């Protein structure tokens, strides 16, 4: 019989439940054997959707990771705890697929080089981004020079994102980190930041001020090799989720998702021609998450390389944090080629 | 000084007024010297918009065409009279640019070979159609084999088109004639009809039945060289005017106006992404009409060839009439290579 | 534990193998327990890809369908045999999901009303078509009146489709049957054909003449309720697979796949802006096939209705055969409201 | 007879000649009576294209502006001289339509309040931009908050733009000034700059270093009312000219030219689906230039307001100069609400 990766799911919230289902039903080389959640509502869901398929349920994370034969864990719990959970899993000898961010685990991961530890930057598994990368790699656009990339979410009129801002790390760390990771992928992960500038607005959620966060933000990152990245993140979109990336080279450019669309339907009526846009990132990236689960399982079973290095996940978070600092302080931050700060202006907010 | 074509405009209704203005203001090598209309409202418009520019106004067509020095006339009067007017103009030695259809003037035109007589198929002057034709001519799509072409107008809820049907010749003659003309242009004007089938609906204007006409119609024309054309015309569009043409070849295809748009604006809102569509054909073809006026003037002044032969205009109307007959009688009409009918079914309307 | 539908796969060619994999890995409520193929190459593939997952392999169809506990079979063998196989499966008391066409099984199916017997019209399971149907059903386009629908495949320069034409039933039965099925779905399956006209070309495969088939064909079907469908099928596309459907109503229209695209990448270079197109229908409809497998399993297990009736599959084939006859004979076929022929012209091919 | 604005054209280079032709042939209410050029090649062109239409030619600007009856002048000479020429024209009592930039003429213009003095920001006359503005003004996107706007030209492999950089003022002043002007239009011309950051590359023209200029540049401008503009300019596009503007509001967004296209043709071939892009800005904005000429003539004749104030043209240049300074010095520049600088970093280029 086929050998399958025995994996557990930690956290069964919106994204955690999707990871669990993907490993349960859409990852032929994996077997979801356990799941953990401290939440009674999530547990009830799991009793219906996971348990009948032979998944053992836990309300204690530490117990779950000791389950006999367990080889890996996918962590989709609250951001505040998943670093700790990831470290525990590694100490237990488990491979880890963890939702971003994962900034603190590097030293631990280095102590367990045989373990696969991956932060879930799902766009790396998206067919369109991969096609764009291949086209760039084949030289279609000459020398890539500029990236413009945005993560823009449909406006959620509830207060959810205000409270979320208390611990999210700020919009650049929470949202643009995806675009920054793409930049490391397309420009090469050895690029070094030279300068960072950022600006933000609170156009629809003025209460974000209490956590020094913003509902729209823009930043530019200049690298020491002369390349430049321009990021935009927003939680204000009326039309839906719109992640767009543009890679501009000396001989051409590539766009990914320049014309967002929910499906292949166009409606022609008195208003003109209308197409709908996905309401959420899962509507855009569902197949990328499935690919991620499958490739993670394969890497663990076959001991092959993962498509993204843990170190990059950390680097992406660091750049996001630099942008967030420039944004909050209203300064331009400059680094030398060794990555040390060389100057900054602490301009009083005028 | 520059020699200019002295031209008169006959008919100052919607399209006639546009022709007058185009020759007056947008045709450097022409000089609008006279205009005729029997309509008092149109005349009032002309007193304001034409007369101050030195255009002499007439309420009698026959008088106008005798104006000293007049060289040409553009005819945009009611369909019912413009054939007669065109003939009179030719007898007077005037070049003629006439709105379609122009079926009856061939013999007269042949007697005046030095005169330029052109039927206004404006799409022949459209930049996009010309670009498509050039691409086809350069072999980009291999051997052109199939044309699909439609003339679809925004629904006009008034009864205008019911009464218009009394004398328009039917939708295939009135609307699809443009698509048929394009077919003669792209396939070559020597193609011979082999078979014709057509179907129609009265989906929004059931009263069209009294004139045996339809508000939507579809027909297929097979030619003796094996090429096929598929036409669709409609007066039912909710979104605006949508003329689309597709030329399918053995190695590729070309589309013209596959994504109709009024301008370059897209509106992203709760409904998704919306662009508007021109409400009328002039919104789509305005620049083609200007080009038509300029090229007509140049052909008259320089005695150069016009981009479309009068004979083709007649052929287009004949094919349109065949389609209309097939539609109304509910039969398939077949012709031999000499253009004679070889069979038809007079199926009783079941 | 979860109850799963025990299903067998008959035929492991290109499409059969996909069905097998979909039921094996992407249909949580099904368990692929057996597979049959008479082909040694396909068998070798199955030993690697199916057997390790517990799938029992057969080289004899009759033996396979007697496997203990088997509940259903998915038939993806050669068209010539799958009708017979479907009948045998039904006699064995098995639910059947069969690739089109499935014209002969109606009487047998009627004798086994408790069995789920479905012909695989995958577009019925496509998210975009379903969205378009829902929009139509909600009245967005008023009264649907016209369907234009095409099945156009990328040109395969080999002789494959010439020999395939020997038994495929002709392009209207083999290709347009999908568009006809969509017509029955969007217009209602009780519509009755009034008249049929069809035209075809052999633009890239003249050898198709020996089987009276064509590489491009167009046909119009008029129904007794006044609605009209215009079909186009082609095996000549240079750019890839392009299935487009347009539903035109009295107050708007819906298009599905009006702008074919392989993914979300656009390449801007000296040529302009280019996007790629899927090479094959599976590139367009993969997720629809997965949905089909899942919904079939659910219908069998829960004894719920399938989204398409077997009778419609037969009706679609019948209309395809009418079009093919009109095409080959060069006639217009007319039926009365009872479905009987009222006239036809046996025009000698001129 | 109709009263026409007697206008002279100064400069008959690429753009100057277009202005001359537009006033000669496409501006019914203007009469081109004179033209000036110091260039013998341009003069030869004028002898053929202007003189036969009654245009008097000059090789001395000062003489021309004294021509009897002259009322206005359109200035399309080299940037280095047109400020001086504009001032002379105003002293002569002439209305002035001047190509950008026009930074120095404000005081003179103020002394002649009866004169129409307009800097040619052609996008203000573009139908699409006007439609977008109207939609914003009608509240379609809520409160406009962010503008992203780019001016990107097709790469010219010659050295033209290197030498041009010697006196162009830099890319932000030369190119982005259009986007800045749009920002003043969409955000209101009373907005005050709070902070400016900019980054640039020399990706295809390293020799631009000698003039401290760049072939690609990006900048962000934050305004005191909280709105933000993100500009990108480039001379490196492989595909053609691509001016895109996005206006993002609290309840929607508008894009102008998000899908650049030369015309309505799409070519489907082995590469996929391709549309071409205009090679130059005139291919995109020709009709806007014609509208500009007509509206300028109307404003002069009727003494009505021009659609853009001279003061704004100056303000646009000033903001462009700020961006250019931030770019060249590698600093973030901050201004207080009175427009005075409050801090800057003279970071040594590391």
At C330, give phi and psi (nearest 5°).
70, 40
Residues constituting chain D: 350
Lowest mean pLDDT among A242-256, B310-324, C225-239: B310-324
Mean of the per-residue pLDDT values for chain D?
92
- Contact predicate A203/D338, CB 8 Å: no
B245-274 pLDDT, tens digit each: 999 999 999 999 999 999 999 999 999 999
D202-226 pLDDT, tens digit each: 999 999 999 999 999 999 999 999 9
Distance CA B134, CA A67 (A): 71
Q: Residue with structure tokens 């003279």?
A: D346
Helix axes D127-137, D281-302, angle to 10 degrees: 70
The architecture in CATH of the region A126-285+314-343 reads 2-Layer Sandwich (3.30)
Distance CA C241, CA C308 (A): 24
Distance CA D292, CA D282 (A): 13
Q: Which of B135, B121, B205 is nearest to B163 (CA)?
A: B205
A152-165 pLDDT, tens digit each: 999 999 988 888 88
Cis bond leading into D101, ω under 30°? yes
pTM of the prediction? 0.95
Q: C239 and B226 in contact by Cβ < 8 A?
A: no
Structure tokens at C142: 């008023």
- The H or E element spanning position C97 is strand C95-98
Distance CA B252, CA D271 (A): 10
- The H or E element spanning position B322 is helix B310-329
How high is the pLDDT of residue C110?
66
Widest Cα–Cα separation across chain B: 69
Helix ranges restricted to H, A8-103: 14-25, 40-49, 61-64, 79-91
Distance CA D86, CA D98 (A): 7
Find the residue in D nearest to C277 (Cα).
D272
With a cut of 50, say whether residue A68 has pLDDT above it. Answer: yes
pLDDT classification of A105: cutoffs 50, 70, 90: low
- Rounded-to-10 torsion of CA B53, B56, B61, B65: -100
How high is the pLDDT of residue B103?
57
Q: How is residue C141 annotated by DSSP? A: T
D273-298 pLDDT, tens digit each: 999 999 999 999 999 999 999 999 99
- Do C5-119 and C127-285+314-343 share a fold? no
- Contact predicate A211/A162, CB 8 Å: yes
Q: Which chains touch D (3 or more CB pairs under 8 A)?
A: A, B, C
C152-182 pLDDT, tens digit each: 999 999 988 888 888 888 999 999 999 999 9
- Which of A214, A236, A273, A337 should be substituted to probe chain D, the one whose Cβ sees the most D Cβ atoms within 10 Å? A236
Structure tokens at B348: 């009783």
Residue A335 neighbours by CB under 8 Å, 6+ apart: A192, A193, A194, A195, A341, A342
pLDDT classification of B46: cutoffs 50, 70, 90: very high
At D47, give phi and psi (nearest 5°).
-60, -35
Structure tokens at C112: 């086994």
C274-290 pLDDT, tens digit each: 999 999 999 999 999 99
- Contact predicate C65/C94, CB 8 Å: yes
Q: D199 and A220 in contact by Cβ < 8 A?
A: yes
Q: How is residue B342 annotated by DSSP? A: E
How high is the pLDDT of residue B159?
84
Q: Cα dist. B181→B101, B138, B295, B312, C304 in Å?
A: 11, 21, 18, 7, 54
Q: How far is A310 from chain B (nearest CA, A)?
A: 37
Q: Which of A125, A71, A156 is nearest to A295 (CA)?
A: A125
How high is the pLDDT of residue B160?
86
The dihedral sign for the CA sequence D305, D306, D307, D312: negative
Nearest neighbour of A250 by CB, restricted to D142, D204, D347: D204
How high is the pLDDT of residue D348?
37
Q: Which CATH code fits C127-285+314-343?
A: 3.30.360.10
Mean per-residue pLDDT for A42-68?
A: 97
- The H or E element spanning position C187 is helix C177-187
Based on C-alpha coordinates, what's the Rg of chain D? 21
With a cut of 80, say whether residue A92 has pLDDT above it. Answer: yes
Interface A–C counts its CB contacts (< 8 A) at 87
How high is the pLDDT of residue C346?
40
Mean per-residue pLDDT for D172-188?
A: 96
- Contact predicate A112/A184, CB 8 Å: no
Taking the domains of chain A in order of start, what are their residue ranges?
A: 5-119, 126-285+314-343
Find the residue in B nearest to D263 (Cα).
B128
B118-153 pLDDT, tens digit each: 888 999 999 999 999 999 999 999 999 999 999 999
How high is the pLDDT of residue A8?
98
With a cut of 50, say whether residue D44 has pLDDT above it. Answer: yes
Q: Cα dist. D197→A220, C297, D323 in Å?
A: 9, 59, 7
Mean of the per-residue pLDDT values for chain B?
92
Mean per-residue pLDDT for A57-77?
A: 96
pLDDT classification of C107: cutoffs 50, 70, 90: low
Q: Which of D233, D255, D234 is nearest to D245 (CA)?
A: D255
Nearest neighbour of C267 by CB, restricted to A24, A252, A265: A252
Q: Which chains touch C (3 or more CB pairs under 8 A)?
A: A, B, D
How high is the pLDDT of residue A101?
67
Mean of the per-residue pLDDT values for chain C?
92
Q: Which of A170, A144, A162, A167 is nearest to A205 (CA)?
A: A162
Distance CA B296, CA B289 (A): 10
CATH class (in words) of the domain with range D127-285+314-344: alpha beta
Which residues from chain A sit within 8 angstroms of residue D332, using beta carbons?
Answer: 197, 331-332, 345
- Contact predicate C281/C153, CB 8 Å: yes
Which residues from chain A sit within 8 angstroms of residue B274, using beta carbons?
Answer: 271-274
The architecture in CATH of the region B124-285+314-344 reads 2-Layer Sandwich (3.30)
Q: A275 and B273 in contact by Cβ < 8 A?
A: yes
Q: How far is A135 from chain D (nearest CA, A)?
A: 13
- Which of C237, C264, C272 should be substituted to probe chain D, the one whose Cβ sees the most D Cβ atoms within 10 Å? C272
- Contact predicate D153/D216, CB 8 Å: no
Distance CA D241, CA D277 (A): 7
Q: Judge: domain D5-119, CATH 3.40.50.720.
A: yes
Which residues from chain A sit within 8 angstroms of residue B261, using beta carbons?
Answer: 273
Q: Which chains touch A (3 or more CB pairs under 8 A)?
A: B, C, D
C146-155 pLDDT, tens digit each: 999 999 999 9
Give me the interface pTM, i.e. the ipTM.
0.94
What residues of A are in the C interface, CB distance below 8 Å? 1-2, 24-26, 28, 52-54, 127-128, 131-132, 135, 140-141, 251-259, 262-270
Distance CA D14, CA D20 (A): 10
- Contact predicate D282/D122, CB 8 Å: no
At A110, give phi and psi (nearest 5°).
-65, -30
How high is the pLDDT of residue B348?
37
Q: How far is D55 from chain B (nearest CA, A)?
A: 10
Structure tokens at B331: 């039969």
- Strand partners for A36: A10, A58
Q: How is residue A234 annotated by DSSP? A: E
Q: D128 and B265 in contact by Cβ < 8 A?
A: yes
The CA-CA-CA angle for residues A18, A24, A28, to 5°, reads 120
Residue D187 neighbours by CB under 8 Å, 6+ apart: D144, D147, D223, D225, D227, D229
With a cut of 60, say whether residue D346 has pLDDT above it. Answer: no
With a cut of 80, say whether residue D111 has pLDDT above it. Answer: no
Residue C71 neighbours by CB under 8 Å, 6+ apart: C5, C6, C7, C94, C95, C300
Q: Which of D157, D121, D154 is nearest to D262 (CA)?
A: D154
Which residues from chain A sit within 8 angstroms of residue D239, using beta carbons?
Answer: 252-253
Q: How far is D140 from chain A (nearest CA, A)?
A: 11
Structure tokens at D340: 């005075």
How high is the pLDDT of residue C1?
67
Nearest neighbour of B268 by CB, restricted to A239, A262, A273: A239
Residue D24 neighbours by CB under 8 Å, 6+ apart: B28, D32, D50, D53, D55
Lowest mean pLDDT among A100-114, B105-119, D105-119: A100-114
Give SS3 for D90: helix
Mean per-residue pLDDT for A254-275?
A: 98
- The H or E element spanning position C128 is helix C127-137
């Amino acid at each position: 019989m086929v050998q399958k990766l025995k994996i557990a799911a930690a956290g069964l919230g919106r994204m955690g439940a999707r990871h669990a289902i993907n490993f349960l039903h859409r990852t032929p080389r994996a077997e979801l054997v356990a799941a953990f959640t401290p939440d009674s509502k999530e547990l009830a869901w799991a009793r219906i959707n996971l348990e009948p398929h032979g998944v053992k349920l836990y309300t204690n994370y530490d117990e779950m990771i000791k389950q006999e034969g367990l080889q890996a864990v996918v962590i989709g719990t609250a951001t505040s705890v998943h670093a700790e959970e990831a470290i525990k899993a590694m100490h237990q000898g488990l491979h880890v697929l963890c939702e971003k961010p994962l900034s603190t685990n590097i030293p631990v991961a280095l102590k367990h080089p045989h373990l696969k530890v991956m932060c879930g930057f799902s766009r790396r598994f998206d067919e369109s981004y991969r096609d764009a990368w291949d086209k760039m790699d084949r030289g279609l656009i000459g020398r890539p020079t500029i990236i413009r990339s945005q993560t823009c979410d449909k406006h959620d009129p509830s207060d959810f994102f205000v409270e979320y801002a208390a611990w999210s790390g700020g919009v650049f760390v929470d949202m643009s980190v995806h675009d920054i990771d793409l930049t490391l992928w397309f420009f090469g992960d050895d690029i070094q930041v030279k300068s960072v500038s950022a600006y933000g607005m609170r156009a629809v959620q003025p209460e974000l001020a209490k956590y020094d966060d913003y509902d729209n933000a823009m930043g530019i990152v200049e690298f020491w090799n002369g390349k430049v990245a321009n990021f935009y993140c927003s939680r204000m979109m009326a039309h839906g989720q719109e992640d767009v990336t543009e890679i501009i080279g000396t001989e051409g450019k590539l766009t990914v998702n320049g014309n967002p669309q929910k499906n292949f339907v166009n409606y022609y009526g008195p208003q003109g021609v209308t197409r709908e846009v996905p309401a959420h990132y899962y509507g855009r990236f569902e197949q990328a998450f499935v690919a991620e689960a499958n490739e993670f399982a394969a890497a663990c079973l076959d001991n092959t390389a993962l498509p993204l290095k843990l170190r990059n996940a950390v680097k992406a978070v660091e750049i996001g944090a630099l942008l967030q600092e420039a944004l909050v302080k209203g300064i331009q931050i400059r680094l030398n080629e060794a990555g040390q700060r060389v100057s900054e202006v602490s301009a009083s907010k005028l």
